[in-house]
């Protein structure tokens, strides 16, 4: 399970929740976006992408329904870093690619007494 929060000028614009689930017909990536008050963007339910490929460094999920997103690739850079690349292919207009680098948050030092 994972979360993502997009902010601009200290204001939350969107929240994203995602899970990777081993289902009877294969591994799925479930994804849903919410407003700051948790109103879901996607109707009637989450986006579901199918596992297309996987190796030691990356996994690729593809959307069998539409291009919103069409493909999501998660690549491990090192033990504390990975990159998520999402390719959106709208019915009209240009494709859009979003790439986000995630880094493990370092443990805070213990408080001094």
Rounded Cα distance between 108 and 113, Å, is 15
Q: Tell me the domain boundaries of the chain.
A: 2-103
**Contact, 37 vs 28, CB < 8 A?**
no
pTM: 0.83
Rounded Cα distance between 89 and 69, Å, is 7
Q: What is the pLDDT along the chain (113 residues), one digit of tens a residue?
A: 888 888 899 999 999 999 999 999 999 999 999 999 999 998 888 999 999 999 999 999 999 998 889 999 999 999 999 999 999 998 888 999 999 998 888 887 788 87
């Amino acid at each position: 399970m994972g979360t993502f929060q997009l902010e601009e000028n200290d204001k939350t614009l969107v929240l994203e929740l995602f899970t990777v689930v081993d289902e009877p017909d294969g591994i799925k990536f479930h994804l849903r976006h919410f407003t700051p008050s948790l109103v879901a963007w996607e109707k009637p339910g989450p986006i579901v992408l199918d596992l297309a490929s996987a190796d030691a460094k990356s996994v690729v999920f593809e959307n069998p329904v539409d291009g919103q997103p069409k493909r999501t690739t998660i690549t491990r850079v090192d033990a504390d870093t990975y990159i998520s690349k999402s390719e959106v292919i709208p019915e009209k207009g240009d494709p859009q690619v979003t790439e986000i680098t995630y880094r493990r948050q370092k443990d805070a030092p213990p408080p001094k007494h």
